[in-house]
Structure 1
Amino acid sequence: MKFLPGLVACLCCVVACASDWTAFRGGAGDGHSAAKNLPSEWSQEKNIAWKIELPGAANGSPIIAGDRVLLTSATDKGTTRTLHCFSAADGSEQWKADVTYDREMPTHKTNLYGGTTPASDGKVVVVWHGSAGLY
């Protein structure tokens, strides 16, 4: 799926301008940012700071915590879920944490297994991996 790398790349053009976006729909949960002068258009090359290719598909929202971008992905029909952490400055991988679940988790046919959005208070990151639990 090509959607997520594009989404991550688009988000990254905002990273330099935006404050922390620590959960789904932002820290206030309302989908609004106080950041000013954000790009209003982008393409595969325009207004993109960096891009990364994830090992699996996902449709959760990336978050920004300090100088880090965090997001999830899933592989192996959802039995392996990963929380990824990248440098907001250059997209370099800082760390990743894999969780293995011993069976395929049921999901709606239009939903991806990596549909979780992490949350952070700037010190701790949590992510819900469905039946595999909270990490």
Structure 2
Amino acid sequence: MEEARAKKQENKEGDSKRKRANSLKNIVGGDILATDFFRRQTKLLVLIMVFIIFYVHNRYASQQQQIEIDRLKKELTDIKYDALTRSSELMEKSRQSRIEEYISTQESDLQTSTNPPYEIENDN
């Protein structure tokens, strides 16, 4: 009696191992896609795949835009520093002492005025 029970138990364990192996074989072989459940849910699975593709594309596009934004920010910073440098150079070259020095080296007849500037009023 106990031997019969042991054989039944072994048969049950063997069947469950075969089912697992069979189901793994079905999954790997693609036979699972032919089951009734997957045939009924085809539209849902296609919709899920479309959403996954859209999600991946959207993430890729946003990463590309972020890279472009970072590049443009760096370029803007460089341009700002360049503009600041040019502005300070212009201020340096347009100082009165620099202009007087330049004129004196050019052997020009121009001289700095000794009289202060005055404003002409209009009596209209």
Fold conserved between structures, TM > 0.5: no
The bucket for the TM-score relative to the shorter chain is under 0.3
Q: Which has the larger radius of gyration?
A: 2
For normalisation by structure 2, the TM-score amounts to 0.17
